[in-house]
Amino acid sequence: MPDIFLSYSRRNRRFIDRLVADLEDHGIEVWQDVLELGVGDPVHKSIESAISESRFFCLALSPAALRSYYVRDVEFEQAFSRSLRERRDLILPIVVQKLDVDGPAIPERIRHLHRLDFSRRRNYAENVRKLVQKVRGVNTHFSGERWYKGLNISNLGEPVGVGPTAQMATLGPSYRMVWHDGTVTRVDVFINGTLAHYKEFEFDSGRRVVTNTMYTPDGSGGWELRDDVWYYSYDPVTGSRATKAMRYPGENTARVVEYGKDGRALREYITTEDGERPDRQFPYSSKVFRYDQDGNVLGEDWFDDGGAPIPSSV
């Protein structure tokens, strides 16, 4: 069952693609007609089925969307009818482009609903977080613990649980995420029922992760800092991740990963604070990631200290 049916105008496709990527990065399944409809599928029947099966209907408002026959008269009407039948609010309106004062009006039936305004790009990261929390049904002030089969750090830098479980798994890995006032502050990693290590997170004023620190047993009943500490920075305009860097305790070496506006990792390089050769040995000084047209990683091109290609690239 998809989490969200996303109704939008093709004119906003570039923004929508980015939003869908970030939502899916948070484990939210999104239904898009362009991607889901096969050749020869009956359009109206397929849309009706998808809207009926999705948990929420997200209406991406823009001047073009409000003029669209399919958005207003097909998809929205189907979702609104379902909302009346089930007697629940399943329509999530978001503004993806500033609306014209003299343009088409927002449907009267949803004007009373709160809208997330994505047209203000500085609020992008916070709006994604709010949308994810709404779909997940997570209280923004929740404090407590939840168990997951896996853990990811999203393109926005946030800890994301994958595959919720009722309790710790006795075999294999399981992750206990600790929440405080709606924010994940710590993750305990269990292997075969035993606590193997844990991660702690620090956040900025926008509730985005700025450090991700791992601790492991020190052999005498305590815990010690491991050389797995990541630092995150963010684009000041979009709010999305710009870089992440891992620095090694006691050394001046750092691995830095640079990200594009679409959330993809573009380049990784090894650097030092003093500009000297790194005091840890790596098979490369930098590498560039290659993608196909669908955004899948095809491989990596490695380079040495002088910028020359390394034959062992993958």
Q: What pLDDT is attached to residue 139? A: 55
In contact, 54 and 87? CB cutoff 8 Å: no
Structure confidence at residue 101 as a pLDDT band (50, 70, 90):
low
Distance CA 158, CA 46 (A): 34
Residue 240 structure tokens: 């999305």
Q: Across all residues in the chain, what is the average pLDDT? A: 82
Least confident of 6-20, 81-95, 112-126, 270-284: 270-284
Question: By CB neighbour count within 10 A (0-12 exposed, 13-18 middle, 19+ buried), where does 242 fall?
Answer: middle
Higher pLDDT, 183 or 15: 15
Structure confidence at residue 41 as a pLDDT band (50, 70, 90):
very low
Instruction: Tell me the CA distances in angstroms from 150 to 37, 46, 147, 295, 314, one per residue in order.
Output: 31, 33, 9, 23, 26
Residue 309 has pLDDT above 80, yes or no: yes
Distance CA 163, CA 158 (A): 16
Residue 174 has pLDDT above 90, yes or no: yes
Higher pLDDT, 252 or 65: 65
The 10s digit of each residue's pLDDT in 204-260 is: 877 778 898 889 988 888 888 876 788 898 887 767 788 988 876 667 778 899 988
Average pLDDT over residues 47-55: 85
Evaluated on CA atoms 5, 10, 264, 138, the torsion sign reads: negative
Average pLDDT over residues 83-95: 86
Instruction: Tell me the CA distances in angstroms from 217 to 24, 59, 105, 109, 197, one per residue in order.
Output: 34, 48, 60, 57, 7
Buried b (16+ CB within 10 A) or exposed e, 259-298: beeebebebbbbbeeeeeebeeeeebbbbbbeeeeeeeee
Average pLDDT over residues 176-193: 88
Average pLDDT over residues 123-133: 86
In contact, 92 and 4? CB cutoff 8 Å: yes
> First vs last Cα of the chain: how many Å apart?
36
Q: Which amino acid, 61?
A: L
The 10s digit of each residue's pLDDT in 137-150 is: 755 567 888 888 88
- Give Cα 7 distance to the centre of its chain: 19
Residue 31 structure tokens: 């239904």
Instruction: Tell me the CA distances in angstroms from 82 to 50, 60, 187, 273, 306, one per residue in order.
Output: 12, 18, 39, 59, 62
Residue 61 has pLDDT above 60, yes or no: yes
Evaluated on CA atoms 289, 292, 296, 299, the torsion sign reads: negative
Average pLDDT over residues 37-61: 73
Q: Which residues pair with 269 in a beta bridge?
A: 256, 286
Select from 3, 123, 15, 128 the least CA-distant residue to 61. Answer: 15
Q: What pLDDT is attached to residue 188? A: 94
Higher pLDDT, 129 or 192: 192
Distance CA 103, CA 206 (A): 33
What phi and psi values does residue 8 have, to the nearest 5 degrees? -160, 170
In the chain, % of residues over pLDDT 90: 19
Structure confidence at residue 38 as a pLDDT band (50, 70, 90):
very low
Select from 111, 114, 115, 110 the least CA-distant residue to 98. Answer: 115
Higher pLDDT, 310 or 292: 310
The 10s digit of each residue's pLDDT in 262-274 is: 677 899 988 876 6
Give the orientation angle of helix 124-136 with respect to helix 13-25, to 10 degrees.
60
Least confident of 76-80, 83-87, 204-208: 204-208
Select from 138, 173, 193, 142 the least CA-distant residue to 27. Answer: 138
